[in-house]
Structure 1
Amino acid sequence: MQTTIKKFGIYAAVTSAVLFLAALYFGQGLDFSTQEVLGYLTIFASLTFVFFGIKHFRDKENDGLVSFKKAFIIGIIISLFASLGFGIIDGLYVGFINPDFGSQYLEYTLEGMKTTLSPEEFEIKKAELTQQMEAYSNPFFTGMFMFFIVFVIGIIVSLLSALILQRKS
């Protein structure tokens, strides 16, 4: 079980970092909403290794059997690898590659809100978002935030994968 977790966990972490960097490089001219979609696709692509890791364990290491509990545990641990990969690369992105990301994203968000909110509501939201983006400009906070987002999605993927792949004797 440990070799499967390490193998597929490393695959998930490396995939998350490589796809993040690829989306960063190839998506430079895209707007933030398109980049967000690419980000979520990258998350789901790296978390496919949860499914394949559980399946590999069941079919190759455990004689075609795996309980829901064991499958879920394998999935959660592989998800931790993917989450760690995303957290590290996102922290590096905000800290070193694009330290102005927080202010750029704030400007983009505020431009969209100007047309949909009244002037009073806009000023309230602007103050809230400005305060939030100060925290988001911190590489450690950004890395932890991305870690938790990916991990929560990983829990859901692990749950679904365990339900689909469980096979008892």
Structure 2
Amino acid sequence: MLRTILKYGVIAGLVVGGFELVTFTAFSGMPPLKYGMLIGYTTMLIALSAVFVGIKRHRDVDRGGVIGFWPAFGVGLGVSFIAGILYVVAWEALQAMTHMDFATSYSNAIIASEKAKGASAEALAKLTADMEVFKVQYANPMFRLPMTFAEIFPVGMLVSLVSAGLLRNSRFLPARRG
């Protein structure tokens, strides 16, 4: 089981980290806000399809074609955890390689978005103060690392729940017998 978790977790982590690197390189920094979240979460779902494949492989090869919900969910969480760790490592490496100041870019984009919506001067002043606090917090790795992990892990939990629910039924995509 541990081997399956590590194998598929690394696959998912490399996929999401690779997409992350390509995305930020293609946009020469942070992608526009309206596309960034769509690109990011779509990439996570593609990468986390390894959760489904890992659970299925564990069910079909290691467990004789039968797995309960909780063991399947555990495998999914393990794969998601490894993928999350690699996602954080990729993010930190990307920031170090590109010398990108994500917090400033993000803050400026949020403020510009609110200005474009016609926010009042008072609301913009409060938002600017909040963004300054965010920049200070984001500079601290004890804030940034768990925050980055929390971007992908809930998606992994959801994929794990759905995958475990489907794959606990041995008739769902049964193992091929050769």
> Do they fold alike, i.e. is TM over 0.5?
yes
Stretch deviating more after TM superposition (141-150 or 4-13):
141-150
Where does residue 15 of structure 2 map in the other structure? Answer: 15
CA distance in 2, matches of 1:158, 1:95: 31
Q: What number of residue pairs does the alignment pair up?
A: 169
Deviation of the 1:154 alpha carbon: 0.9
Alignment of 1:129-140 (within 5 A): 129-139=131-141
**Counterpart of 1:116 in 2: which secondary structure?**
coil
Where does residue 28 of structure 1 map in the other structure? Answer: 28
**Counterpart of 1:63 in 2: which secondary structure?**
coil
| Contact kept in structure 2, 1:90 and 1:143, CA below 8 Å | no
| Contact kept in structure 2, 1:90 and 1:142, CA below 8 Å | no
Higher helix fraction: Structure 1 or Structure 2?
Answer: 1
**Counterpart of 1:99 in 2: which secondary structure?**
coil
**Counterpart of 1:129 in 2: which secondary structure?**
helix
Deviation of the 1:138 alpha carbon: 3.8
| Contact kept in structure 1, 2:52 and 2:160, CA below 8 Å | yes
- Aligned in 2, Cα 1:112/1:55: closer, same or farther, shift over 3 Å? same
**Structure 1: unaligned runs, 5 residues or longer:** none
**Counterpart of 1:123 in 2: which secondary structure?**
helix
Stretch deviating more after TM superposition (69-78 or 126-135):
126-135
**Counterpart of 1:37 in 2: which secondary structure?**
helix
Identity of aligned residues (%): 27
| Contact kept in structure 2, 1:91 and 1:142, CA below 8 Å | no
Deviation of the 1:134 alpha carbon: 2.2
Deviation of the 1:69 alpha carbon: 0.5
| Contact kept in structure 2, 1:94 and 1:137, CA below 8 Å | no
- Aligned in 2, Cα 1:15/1:70: closer, same or farther, shift over 3 Å? same
**Structure 2: unaligned runs, 5 residues or longer:** 172-178
Deviation of the 1:118 alpha carbon: 1.4
Query: Is 1:154–2:167 an aligned residue pair?
Result: no
- Aligned in 2, Cα 1:93/1:137: closer, same or farther, shift over 3 Å? farther
Deviation of the 1:163 alpha carbon: 0.6
Stretch deviating more after TM superposition (12-21 or 65-74):
12-21
Normalised by the length of structure 1, the TM-score is 0.89
Equivalent residue for 2:118, pick from 112, 116, 119: 116
| Contact kept in structure 2, 1:8 and 1:50, CA below 8 Å | yes
CA distance in 1, matches of 2:42, 2:126: 32
